[in-house]
């Protein structure tokens, strides 16, 4: 076992360093390290073919419970989390279909029109919209469109788009924390531990709702002076874009709205219907492809397969750590440090995960931490759900603190820079880091009050 | 000029590469692009060029940068991409120009009308020149040269499989100390004319 443990830790460390330094594209890193895990950890170290198959977890896809779990919820599994992969792939296709039809731009422009193109109301409305959209759609897509529209409106209305983009990024991450499908760490957490959409909404969703009120007030107080329009600027209504022009194809637009509506309803009710997120992912993608007709191949080509491969390799490497018992050792350590005190455990998990997520990709972090909190809950006899919500808030929100903490931050700051509005680390952190601190602190207090 | 020519000039700090580029551009009566690319980009985007200038020809800082689906938070990287895109557009438009640095010999390497040049110089000659132009002491001049060359090298090597100043990467590498700035420029003008069969 010792040899397998050494291999598992060494591979994990190498993978982490390579992912952070980006010397090699991250999907090649995790796949390469995943292959090494299978050969060295399972083959040479553990000499266990069943452990290897358990990590690959392909068999799970061919079980009924993978697609239909019944009202009891989905079955938890270890190794490659195929539910996450299939769900994310399905949602990617649906979102591409919506984007192609002009849905996001139409939504942003309509909202801008609704608030009469006034910077402060626009700022507040876009923050809330960012959070709401990110509850159902990946935050990268939300920010990609919102930041682009923000820059366009900032040029037209003559204000600085940077404060608005930073606030939108923060709210997208916050909105993502509210639901099971909002942020990849939540999808992994939900599918690994068998939580439903409603479980997230009634736990992290409540925390995110409280936090959203606070951050909207915070960002308004911090940025209200920066959003002033240039002196003497008079808006020429003829320069304003018509929201309807955003729609590229009315039929596709109507269908994409219906499919998105179906996806939301199915996700909200999946604990009642028994349909798993993998099933929902496949269903919405098939519907989108059917509607797209001849263009379906173009939508398939737009799937971010690199991210999906990254996930697959990552799950194998973390599976190696899990099966060699390394993660139990970490859990034991946290248990010892906290002395079995739930409040201390919550404090450690939320702050460590927040700080770690601020600087490293939160997906490998959460994938690693799930088996840790599982062991911790079993060893210390504490409620796994409490630790899960704590981990979700720590990783989802912690990532907002720096420009590299979460994918939405990277995309948002990049869109801003490409439009000629570079956002430095200092500018970003000055606005987002205090907001992250406030939300993590408030979340911790709420968790203490509600669960401990 | 009827035939399109694109002259890419890489240079060591203090070698006079920029001055040589200016002379070549004047000789052929074509525009020269250097830091002014950012001004053109800023004009296009309706923003202040000063915001962009401090990131010009700076290497990406790996530890504080991340890339997601082709998007990078690195300001340096985004500005580099804007400059590369600008150069490619100019090259596609059929315009003749001289470009200083900006990894242009890599960015435009597929272009048939490109001539790539690297200008180097002897340390004592470069030091003397930097002291004279910037009114610095010998030590200050050497520090400035080392700092700029280190940054240019790091910037260049991020985007090229060949190292900065590696002769395999250029049509010609020339030591400006040998002939001096003026004669090096004249020599290179002849070289360019010969390459493109210009009268």
φ and ψ of B102, to 5 deg: 60, 30
Mutate to test the interface with A, among B55, B73, B74, B157 (most CBs of A within 10 A): B73
**Chain B residues 75-104 within an 8 A CB cutoff of chain A:** 75, 78-79, 81-82
pLDDT score at B7: 95
DSSP helix/strand/coil, A25:
coil
> What token pair was written down for A407?
């994918």
- Out of B62, B69, B82, whose CB is closest to A21? B62
Contacts of B65 in chain A (CB under 8 A): 22, 404
Quick one: tokens of B110?
């597929």
Q: B50 and chain A: CB distance < 8 Å anywhere?
A: no
What pLDDT sits at residue A49? 87
Distance, CA of B96 to CA of B1 (rounded, Å): 8
CB A393 within 8 A of CB A443: yes
Q: Which of B47, B66, B79 sits opposite A410 (nearest CB)?
A: B66
pLDDT band at residue A227 under the 50/70/90 scheme: confident
B173 domain residue, yes or no: yes
On whether the CB atoms of residues B57 and B102 are closer than 8 A, the answer is yes
Instruction: Select the residue of B45, B52, B78 nearest A414 (Cβ to Cβ).
Output: B78
The Cα–Cα gap between A331 and A328 comes to: 5
Chain A closest CA to B8's CA: distance in Å?
A: 25
- Taking contacts as CB-CB distances below 8 angstroms, the residues of chain B near A420 are 41-42, 45-47, 51-52
Residue B1, domain member (yes or no): no
Sign of CA dihedral A130, A131, A132, A137: positive
CB contact under 8 A, B68 and A407: yes
pLDDT of residue B147: 94
pLDDT value of residue A77? 55
Residue of B nearest to A152 (CA): B45
CATH number of the domain bearing residue B90: 3.40.50.300
pLDDT: is B199 or A167 the higher one?
A: A167
| CA dist list (Å): A128 to A164, A405, A410, A438 | 12, 21, 20, 18
ipTM above 0.95, yes or no: no
Contact B72 A414 (CB under 8 A): yes
Q: Identify the pLDDT of residue B117.
A: 95
Nearest CA in chain B to A408: B68
Contact B81, B103 (CB under 8 A): no
Residues in chain B: 199
Per-residue pLDDT, A70? 64
State the average pLDDT over residues A230-244: 82
Q: How far apart are CA A211 and CA A176, in angstroms?
A: 12
**Rounded CA gap, A88 and B61, in Å?**
31
Find residue A100's DSSP bridge partners: none
For the residues A27-34, what does the mean pLDDT come to? 94
Please tell me if residue B43 touches chain A, with a CB cutoff of 8 Å. no
Nearest CA in chain A to B67: A410
pLDDT digits (tens, 9 = 90+) for B106-153: 999 989 999 999 999 999 999 999 999 999 999 999 999 999 999 999
Q: What average pLDDT does range A358-374 have in this prediction?
A: 89
Q: Tell me whether residues A410 and B73 touch, CB distance under 8 A.
A: yes
- The DSSP 8-state label assigned to residue A68 in this structure reads B
User: pLDDT band for position A235 (50/70/90)?
Assistant: confident
Instruction: List chain B residues with CB under 8 Å of A424.
Output: 75
- Asked if A339 contacts A27 with a C-beta cutoff of 8 angstroms, the reply is no
Distance, CA of A322 to CA of A56 (rounded, Å):
13
Distance from CA of A360 to the nearest CA of B (A): 9
- B49 — contact with chain A (CB < 8 Å)? no
Nearest to A411 among B68, B75, B81 (CB): B68
pLDDT of residue A323 exceeding 70, the answer is yes
Mind listing the pLDDT tens digit for each residue in A146-205? Answer: 999 999 999 888 899 999 999 999 999 999 999 999 889 999 999 889 899 999 999 999
pLDDT above 90 as % of chain A: 65
What would the mean pLDDT of A217-227 be, rounded to a whole number?
A: 94
At A71, the pLDDT band (50, 70, 90 cuts) reads very low
Residue B41 in any domain: the answer is yes
Best of B38, B49, B61, B66 to substitute, by most chain A Cβ atoms within 10 angstroms, is B66
The pLDDT score that the predictor gives to residue A239 is 82
Is pLDDT of A74 > 50?
no
User: Does B133 map to a domain?
Assistant: yes
Please tell me the least confidently modeled range out of A214-228, A291-305, A392-406, B179-193. Answer: A291-305
| B185 to chain A, closest Cα gap in Å | 35
DSSP A256-286: HHHHHHHHHHHHHTHHHH-B-HHHHHHHHHH
Chain A contact for B72, CB < 8 A?
yes
Query: Which candidate from B45, B51, B73 shows the least CB-CB separation from A413?
Result: B73
Q: Is A404 in contact with B79 (Cβ distance < 8 A)? A: no
Buried b (16+ CB within 10 A) or exposed e, A43-61: bebbeeeebbebbbbeebe
Residue A1 confidence (pLDDT):
64
Arithmetic mean of pLDDT, A264-272: 90
Phi, psi torsion values for B175, nearest 5 degrees: -95, 110
Tell if the CB–CB gap between B78 and A417 is shorter than 8 Å: yes
Closest chain B CA to residue A155: B46
> How far, CA to CA in Å, does B16 sit from each of B11, B20, B118, B123, B149?
8, 6, 11, 12, 13
Size of interface A-B (CB pairs under 8 A): 65
Start-to-end CA span in chain A (Å): 37
Helix (H, G, I), strand (E, B) or coil at A65: helix
Which residues in chain A have their CB less than 8 angstroms from residue B52's CB? 420, 422
Residue B87 domain flag: yes
Within a domain: B77: yes
CA distance A306 to chain B (A): 8
| Coil vs helix vs strand at A438 | helix
Check if the beta carbon of residue A138 is closer than 8 Å to that of residue A145. no
Sign of torsion, CA A28 A31 A36 A37? positive
Q: Say which residues have a Cβ less than 8 Å from residue A146's Cβ, sequence separation at least 6.
A: A104, A108, A126, A129, A130, A133, A168, A172
Residue ranges in A135-161 assigned as alpha helix (H): 139-157
pLDDT digits (tens, 9 = 90+) for B21-77: 999 999 999 999 998 999 888 888 888 888 888 888 888 887 888 888 889 999 999
Residue, of A70 and A278, whose pLDDT is higher: A278
Q: What is the pLDDT of residue A343?
A: 94
Range of the domain at B24: 6-195
pLDDT band at A73 (very low <50, low <70, confident <90, very high): very low
Give tens-digit pLDDT for A101-131.
Answer: 999 999 999 999 999 999 999 999 999 999 9
pLDDT band at A293 (very low <50, low <70, confident <90, very high): confident
Residue of B nearest to A25 (CA): B67
Q: Which of B46, B62, B78 sits opposite A422 (nearest CB)?
A: B78
d(CA A322, CA A317): 9
**Which of A21, A419, A422 has its CB closest to that of B75?**
A422
Q: Which of A24, A160, A420, A432 to mutate to test the interface with B (most CBs of B within 10 A)?
A: A420
N-term to C-term CA, chain B: 11
Residue percentage of chain B with pLDDT more than 90: 71
Q: Is residue A76 predicted with pLDDT exceeding 70? A: no
pLDDT of residue A72: 47
Decide the pairing of beta strands B67-68 and B32-33. unpaired
d(CA A97, CA A286): 11
Secondary structure, 3-state, chain B: CCCCCEEEEEECCCCCHHHHHHHHHHHHCCCEECCHHHHHHHHHHCCCCHHHHCCCCCCCCHHHCCEECCEECCHHHHHHHHHHHHHHHHHHCCCCEEEECCCHHHHCCCCCCEEEEEEECCHHHHHHHHHHHHCCCHHHHHHHHHHHHHHHHHHHHHHCCCCCCCHHHCCEEEEHHHHHHHHHHHHHHHHHHHHCCCC
Residue B132 lies in a domain: yes
Angle in degrees, 0-180, between the axes of helices B75-92 and B138-159, rounded to the nearest 10: 70
Average confidence (pLDDT) over A416-431? 93
Whether residues A420 and B67 touch (CB distance < 8 A) is answered with no
Chain B contacts of A426, Cβ < 8 Å? none
pLDDT, averaged across chain A: 91
Contact A297, A102 (CB under 8 A): no
The whole-model pTM stands at 0.87
Residue A303 has pLDDT above 80, yes or no: yes
Number of domain units in chain B: 1
Distance from CA of B80 to the nearest CA of A (A): 10
Measure the CA–CA gap between B178 and B181, rounded to whole angstroms: 9
């Amino acid at each position: 076992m010792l040899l397998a443990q050494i291999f598992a830790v060494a591979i994990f460390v190498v993978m982490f360093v390579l992912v952070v330094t980006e010397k090699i594209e991250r999907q090649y890193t995790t796949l390469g390290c995943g292959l090494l895990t299978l050969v060295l950890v399972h083959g040479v170290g553990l000499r266990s073919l069943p452990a290897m198959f358990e990590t690959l977890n392909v068999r799970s896809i061919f079980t009924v419970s993978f697609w239909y779990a019944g009202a009891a919820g989905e079955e938890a599994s270890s190794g490659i989390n195929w539910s996450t992969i299939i769900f994310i792939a399905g949602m990617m296709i649906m979102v591409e279909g919506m984007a192609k039809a002009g849905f996001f731009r139409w939504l942003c422009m309509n909202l801008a029109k609704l608030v009469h193109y006034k910077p402060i109301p626009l700022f507040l409305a876009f923050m809330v919209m960012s959070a709401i959209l990110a509850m159902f759609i990946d935050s990268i897509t939300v920010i990609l469109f919102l930041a682009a529209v923000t820059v366009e409106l900032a040029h037209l209305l003559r204000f600085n788009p940077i404060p608005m983009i930073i606030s939108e990024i923060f709210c997208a991450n916050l909105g993502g924390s509210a639901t099971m499908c909002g942020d990849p760490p939540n999808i992994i957490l939900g599918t690994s531990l068998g939580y439903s959409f409603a479980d997230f909404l009634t736990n992290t969703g409540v925390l995110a709702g409280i936090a959203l009120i606070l951050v909207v007030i915070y960002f308004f107080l911090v940025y209200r002076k920066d959003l002033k329009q240039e002196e003497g600027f008079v808006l020429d209504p003829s320069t304003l874009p018509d929201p309807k022009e955003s729609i590229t194809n009315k039929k596709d637009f109507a269908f994409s709205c219906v499919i998105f509506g179906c996806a939301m309803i199915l996700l909200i009710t999946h604990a009642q219907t028994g349909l798993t997120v993998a099933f929902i992912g496949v269903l919405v993608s098939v519907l989108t492809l059917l509607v797209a007709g001849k263009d379906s191949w173009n939508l398939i080509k737009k799937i971010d397969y690199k991210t999906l491969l990254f996930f697959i390799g990552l799950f194998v490497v973390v599976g190696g750590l899990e099966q060699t018992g390394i993660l139990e050792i970490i859990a034991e350590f946290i248990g010892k440090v906290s002395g079995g005190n739930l409040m201390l455990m919550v404090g450690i998990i939320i702050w460590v995960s927040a700080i770690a997520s601020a600087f490293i990709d939160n997906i490998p972090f959460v994938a690693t931490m799930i088996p840790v909190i599982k062991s911790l809950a079993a060893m210390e006899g504490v409620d796994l759900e409490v630790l899960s919500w704590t981990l979700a808030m720590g990783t989802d929100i912690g990532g907002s603190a720096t420009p590299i903490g979460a994918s939405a931050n990277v995309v948002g700051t990049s869109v801003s820079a490409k439009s000629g509005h570079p956002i430095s680390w200092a500018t970003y952190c000055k606005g987002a880091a205090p907001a992250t601190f406030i939300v993590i602190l408030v979340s911790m207090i709420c968790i203490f009050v509600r669960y401990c | 000029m009827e035939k399109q020519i694109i002259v890419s000039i890489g240079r060591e700090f203090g070698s006079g590469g920029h001055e040589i580029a200016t002379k070549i551009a004047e000789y052929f009566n074509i525009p020269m692009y250097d830091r002014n690319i950012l001004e053109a980009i800023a004009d296009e985007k309706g923003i202040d060029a000063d915001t962009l200038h401090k990131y010009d020809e700076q290497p990406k800082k790996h530890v504080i940068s991340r890339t997601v689906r082709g998007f990078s938070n690195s300001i340096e990287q985004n500005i580099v991409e804007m400059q590369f895109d600008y150069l490619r557009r100019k090259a596609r438009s059929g315009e003749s120009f001289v470009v200083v640095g900006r990894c242009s010999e890599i960015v435009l390497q597929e272009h048939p009308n490109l001539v790539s040049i690297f200008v180097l110089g002897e340390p004592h000659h470069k030091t003397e020149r930097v002291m004279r132009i910037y009114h610095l002491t010998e030590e200050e001049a050497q520090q400035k040269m080392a700092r700029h060359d280190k940054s240019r090298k790091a910037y260049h090597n991020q985007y090229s499989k060949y190292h900065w100043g590696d002769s395999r990467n250029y049509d010609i590498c020339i030591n400006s100390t040998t002939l001096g700035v003026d004669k090096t420029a004249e020599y290179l003008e002849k070289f360019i004319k010969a390459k493109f069969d210009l009268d």
